[in-house]
Structure 1
Amino acid sequence: MSSIKEPPPPMVLVPPLFDFPPLAARTRMLEPSYNLLFGKLALRSLFEDYFDAANHFSTIFMLKPIEDRHVDLIATVSGPLDNKPEETIVGKAVFRLQSDADDPHTFTDLYVSSSDPILLMRACAYYPKYGFGAFGNFPVLKKHRICSDDYGTLGLRYGSSNLSFGAMLFPYSCMDMKLGDDFLKSSWLVTKVGRLTAGVQYDPQFEKKDGAKYKNLKNWNCAIGYGVGSGSPLSPSFNFGLEFAQNSQFIASFYQHVVVQRKVKNPLEESEVIGITNYIDFGFELLTRMNEEKGSNNIQDSTFNIAASWQANKNILFKGKVGPLSSSVSFSFKSWWKPSFSFSVSAIRDRAIGKTSLGFGLRVDNVREASYQRADPNFVMLTPNKEHLAEGIQWKSGKRPMLQSDVNSGNFDGVPRELRPLSRIL
């Protein structure tokens, strides 16, 4: 009796995100944790990435030699599309040396630019076993040195899964400045209990009150956030935050990353491929100025931004954002060659002058690797056995897509590095 060959199990393609982890995550240890938590890092990427400025172009080259995974170079060139005498083309480059290719938290880089600072050295060291780290920014070549910030900053931090605190200091002061309150640039304390995150930041940029800057409430910021999700793009996430800044600004923000699944209608795919994962992101930010002299209905005192993105497959990304003064839409196409190429075009509508302008962007990247193999059984949305057939389960109304059990449980050991959560530290 001849054996009957069983049909292959149904597969769902799980494409990589356009850019994960985001470039801002590479230098997150150079910033206070307060500036990155409460959904701020995700919102920054949603509101800024692939939105090119009106009548401007930008190019980014992210290159890493095959022979050495510990070094890479990111160069950017941007400027106006028309010949405006007040605007010039700006070039920047960052050469990075990372002692551990899989650990982005300890590195040294050199930043060069055609504008100030001309040469900047940045360094960061973090020891996860103890939770302590140090970091610094040191302008080596700068046209003008007026204040302490122009001579560099030094920071110390502690980070664990539930606690982060630290401070940024000015190791050098201007000749005519005295130490004291001016020696401290900022400090922060952030803690997490369950899904709640709360933090406070001391940022002494305003004048003294009663002889001390810490008595001026404008120098204090506080925030609280509620978050759900692992931080990996394979899992949905939800973040909601409230912030009271500078004793005059109230900021409410919301960010959600959704993992959805749709049917594949591509006739070039194999018959067992029955679906593809899509990523939808939505963000909202409302800023209200608590100013007694002006009404809160003034557009300068109260403003908002709404943005959304949809990644249809590994090659196409749509984004849009709306604000009180302008609206923008962006279309991006990416090819996953080695290195990968992506091209973006943005349309910006300025409602103040009633004009629509275009912006263009080009990116070349081999720093971030492709995050999956097509139809890899490690990353399919359906369990590949005969008990889970696409008909009746996968497309039933109201059913969530079934992620692999170990991903849901937070075990990312078998997941590519680019798709794991950014870190286990707060």
Structure 2
Amino acid sequence: MGNWLNKEPPPPMVLVPPLFDYPPLAARTRMLESSYNLLFGKLALKCLFDDYFDEARNFSTVIMLKPIDDPHVDLVATVSGPLDHKPDDKIVGNALFRWQSDIDDPHTFVDLYVSNSDPVLQMRSCAYYPKYGFGAFGIFPLLRKKRLSSEDFGLMGLRYGSRNLSAGVTLTPFSSKDELPKSAWLVSKIGRLTTGVQYEPQYGIKDGASLQNLMNWSCAIGYDVGSGSPLSPSFNFGLELAKNSQFIASFYQHVVVQRRVKNPLEENEIVGITNYIDFGFELQSQIRVDDVKAANNIPDSTFQIAASWQANKNFLLKGKVGPLSSSLAMAFKSWWKPSFTFSISAVRDRTVGRTAYGFGIRVENLREASYQRADPNFVMLTPSKEHLAEGIVWKIGKRPMLQSDINAGNFDGIPKELRPLNKIL
């Protein structure tokens, strides 16, 4: 009886919700892409500017499922089209079936893509050997309605990747045109500084002067701070000169904050919750404007700003602003198995003074919902994502501080969905 009366109160806990979409789906196929196109904050900015901003007066449905008996395979199917469907409008549907050799390593896989548009049937394959850093990949359109460019006949590539260096080349061996290589890149990271160059021949191919033509070259430099884990703040600033004709400046920041919980539905020991705030800015300026571009009314410069706030595991708010339009998106997610996400976006076109709406529905069980931490500051107690808050200091008027070894870069004891994506540059 005495032990029951002197029972200690439960320790304070902080809610650590999982991110809506982490790791991003584009990271699963990054071995098929040039590292130049994914680094310098480009992948994070693409997710910030595009995800859940459904096209105006359109709907989108995404289903991402994998069987319980065989986690090595999964299926991603999408259906999209206009809300006010007319007989002449086309509903676009496609599906992607993927086989992955190692469920913890997404870099070796084979997938098949089918669609009612072009390409009708396409196969992609990638094999990467982390021990040696070498990999090979291929994209093969098996059925196409039209074969106009060299990529329509297939693409193959070789790459090398380590923590501080990435190099690769892509070829079009099945094309009748002499366009070898199709592209090449070299990216290096020294400390917090990342530099890269990419070659994509488009000019001077016929006369053999493509290497000397600066319009075929792009270069970028970036400065980044942070580990890349969603529980660690990060900062990225990049400058790019694309094809000697476009200057791009970008900025992206991921902020992890913790606020008090003032929800009467929560238990008394729940003292706070972790929020995720993302902010991004991108400025594009044309440095070469000829008569053709002026005739097409292409602006000399443009910009876009976006921000997102995840208040808890179920609610996400995003907004972006550009010179011609503004967009606002809200997403609601239920972490069932599979999870369901409903999103609504509003697009304000200032040129015509009209607001249009888009809708999206997503069903998924590809990514894990819970964050199980071995760190003593975040010890999972129940499946509801409740964790010990011993590392949190709550004082009125002061910002709470998280004391964790993630600041030291120790990610060995946490699950793969929380680890940084930059193990391979």
User: Please, what TM-score do these two structures have when normalized by structure 2?
Assistant: 0.92
| 8 Å CA contact 1:343, 1:362 repeated in 2 | yes
With 265-274 and 51-60 compared, the bigger mean Cα shift is at 265-274
- The answer to whether structure 1 residue 198 and structure 2 residue 200 are counterparts is no
- AA matched with 1:395: K
After TM superposition, the structure 1 = structure 2 runs for residues 280-359 of structure 1, keeping only pairs within 5 Å, are: 280-291=277-288, 300-359=299-358
Q: 1:172: which partner in 2?
A: 174
Give the aligned partner of residue 60 of structure 1: 62
Q: Note the 1:11-50 alignment, pairs <5 A.
A: 11-50=13-52
Q: Which amino acid aligns with 2:140?
A: F
Q: What residue number does 1:394 align with? A: 394
Higher alpha-carbon deviation: 261-270 or 325-334: 261-270
CA distance in 1, matches of 2:282, 2:273: 30
* Equivalent position of 2:182 in the other structure: 185
- 1:270-304 Cα offsets, whole Å, 9 max, x none, are 111100000000000000000255899x9711000
State whether residues 252 and 279 of structure 2, in contact with CA within 8 Å, keep that contact through their aligned partners in structure 1: yes
Cα deviation code 1:15-44 (max 9, x no counterpart)? 000010111111111000000000000000
Q: Is the 8 A contact 1:96 1:109 kept in 2?
A: yes
Cα 1:395–1:171 change in 2 (3 A) is: farther
**Structure 1 residue 381 displacement after superposition:** 7.9
Inter-partner Cα distance in structure 2 for 1:373 and 1:293: 56
Partner of 1:421: 420
TM-score (structure 1 length as normaliser) = 0.92
Distance 1:234 1:243 in 2: 28
Unpaired segments of 5 or more residues in structure 2? none
SS at match of 1:82: coil
Distance in structure 2 (CA, Å) of the matches to 1:139 and 1:101: 26
Query: Does the CA-based 8 Å contact 1:166-1:187 persist in structure 2?
Result: yes
In structure 1, what is the Cα distance between the partners aligned to 2:223 and 2:409?
19
Q: What is the CA distance between 1:340 and its match in structure 2?
A: 0.2
Deviation by residue 1:334-355 (Cα, 9 ceiling, x = unmatched): 0000000000000000111111
By how many angstroms is 1:398 displaced?
5.0
The reply on whether 1:229 has 2:226 as its aligned counterpart is: yes
After the TM superposition, which of the residue ranges 76-85 and 212-221 deviates more from structure 2? 76-85
Q: How large is the Cα RMSD of the aligned pairs?
A: 2.2
1:261 to 245, 258, 261: 258
Structure 1: 5+ residue runs without aligned partners?
none
Higher deviation after alignment, 121-130 or 202-211: 202-211
TM-superposed CA distance for 1:7, in Å, is: 2.1
Following TM superposition, by how much is the alpha carbon of 1:373 offset from its aligned partner in structure 2, in angstroms? 6.1
- Identity %, equivalent residues: 69
- Aligned-pair distance for 1:2? 3.6
In structure 2, the partner of 1:162 is 164
For these two proteins, the number of residue pairs brought into alignment is 413
CA contact (8 A) 2:372 2:379 kept: no
Q: Which moved more, 1:237-246 or 1:265-274?
A: 265-274
